[in-house]
Amino acid sequence: MTKFWCDLAWISADGNGKNSADGRHAAEDANAADDKSGAGTERGEVKSKVLIETAGGQISAVTCGVKNPPQEAVHLAGFTVPGLANVHSHAFHRALRGRTQVEQGTFWTWRESMYAAAAHLDPDSYRDLATAVFAEMALAGVTAVGEFHYLHHSPKGGLYQDPNAMGHALAAAAEAAGIRITLLDTCYLAGGFDTELNDAQRRFSDGDAARWAERVEALRKAYADSDTVRIGAAVHSVRAVPVDQLPPVVAFAAEHELPLHVHLSEQRAENDACLSRHHKTPTELLHAHGALGPRTTAVHATHLSQMDIDLLGTSATAVCMCPTTERDLADGIGPARAAHLAGSPINLGSDSHAVIDLFEEARAVELDERLRTERRGHWRAEELLHAATTAGHTALGWPAAGRLRPGAPADFTTIATDTVRLAGIQPAHAAESVVFAATAADVRHVVVNGRFTVRDHRHELVEDVPGKLAAAIGAIFK
């Protein structure tokens, strides 16, 4: 058993509206209350002098107001929150940081640079790059990542000896970096509506949804007993999966109760093409084929009609906002608040990793809304923390995670409050200070499964993370 004593901690309310850490609670009390809906409560409260006890990788007890902690308790100086969930990641996009800022253009021109980077990756080089990227995430407070994975095969489209070699490389990278991963194995079969794959896209495809499902089933069985790896399913987009191939993917995810993620309406051109081909918006097309629901996450959801928003909300489909990528690629500002009010849980991802900073993603949801509406105060800080923690973990298939309460995985992040950005923080406004001022550089400690992954700003498992990033990226562009 390990005990941690927090100066300040953010404790989300339980389903009855009571604070889940008022006094001491047994682990079994929380296990029965796991919120699998993804919406849950978004209320939370900053508590002082919080003792978190862990055993077997889980939180066993949480006690507030402990003025004299046990001698063996590890002091977490700062503000401790549940571990952050990075719901949408393409690890290899990290190699493009800075390189694509010298050009003009659109998402579609940026995509060519992305394809060029992907062409240089094999299982060994991908593991090296992803280990460094996931370690960067850990240093930023991330304890779980959703890796939207479609680099399945060799650069020319041939199968590796193990057809899941690239997926295994990503799982191994997450383990090496000390974080959890939901490997969202992505079905990608076409270059667009009624368009063949181009040469760069061939490695993404299994040929059809049946062969995709066969490969993913082997992957699912390989990690069935893992404590830190979960397998999910993904439809790359309605333009990349022909309409007759959607049902098998949806059925496979439903049969195995897997998270199902999909890029949705990131670009107006996708909407226009879908309307031209199917006389439906992408959201309407997914709805018609049973792809929406509480286990589904729509990534971006930038250009939605009111009907789209209603369909997502009434089905409790989550929406993953990736503001730093959406502004980097000039996608636009999505209707996050409207989607949330309609019933969609909101979560966050760093996507292309223009930066890896979940605090920046969280505040951007509010700040972008201010730019769009010329009004302030659309999102409370606690709602944005909920998006970065509880809602994100639920979207990745870890519904018990993202909370500081007994029975939850012992995953949490401590933000230093003595930095120049957060100096003078007061408990009454700690959540607001962190959401609207903290950066990834303020993360002091990260605990995953009850063990330190990051301690005093230093990664415990990966030495010289910047050096490993430089080496892995340099190998791609040599």
Q: Catalytic: 351?
A: yes
Catalytic residue among 35, 128, 331, 351: 351
Amino acid at 236: H
**SS3 state of residue 297:** strand
pLDDT in the model for residue 38 = 39
Report the candidate in 214, 253, 210 with the shortest Cα–Cα distance to residue 230. Answer: 253
- Looking up tokens 């309605």 gives 238
pLDDT in the model for residue 108 = 75
User: Do the Cβ atoms of 258 and 295 come closer than 8 Å?
Assistant: yes
Residue 82: phi and psi, rounded to 5, are -55, 155
Q: Pick out the chain residues at pLDDT < 50.
A: 15-40
Tell me which DSSP letter residue 195 carries.
Answer: B
**Would you give the distance in Å from CA 17 to the centre of its chain?**
26
Catalytic residue among 149, 153, 168, 300: 300
User: Do the Cβ atoms of 201 and 163 come closer than 8 Å?
Assistant: no
pLDDT tens profile 160-185: 999 999 999 999 999 999 999 999 99
Distance CA 17, CA 9 (A): 18
Domain with CATH 2.30.40.10 in the chain: 2-83+400-459
pLDDT in the model for residue 41 = 52
Alpha helices in 233-290 (DSSP H): 246-255, 268-278, 282-288
Tell me which DSSP letter residue 97 carries.
Answer: T
- Write down the CATH number for the domain with range 84-395: 3.20.20.140
Cα of first residue to Cα of last residue in the chain, in angstroms, is 47
pLDDT tens profile 182-200: 999 999 999 999 999 999 9
Assigned CATH topology for domain 2-83+400-459 = Urease, subunit C; domain 1 (2.30.40)
pLDDT in the model for residue 14 = 57
Cβ neighbours for 373, distance < 8 A, ≥ 6 positions apart: none
Q: Please state, rounded to an integer, the average pLDDT across all residues of the chain.
A: 93
Strands ordered across the beta sheet of 412-415: 58-63, 44-55, 2-12, 74-82, 412-415, 443-448, 451-455, 458-459
Domain with CATH 3.20.20.140 in the chain: 84-395
pLDDT in the model for residue 109 = 81
pLDDT in the model for residue 22 = 44
pTM: 0.94
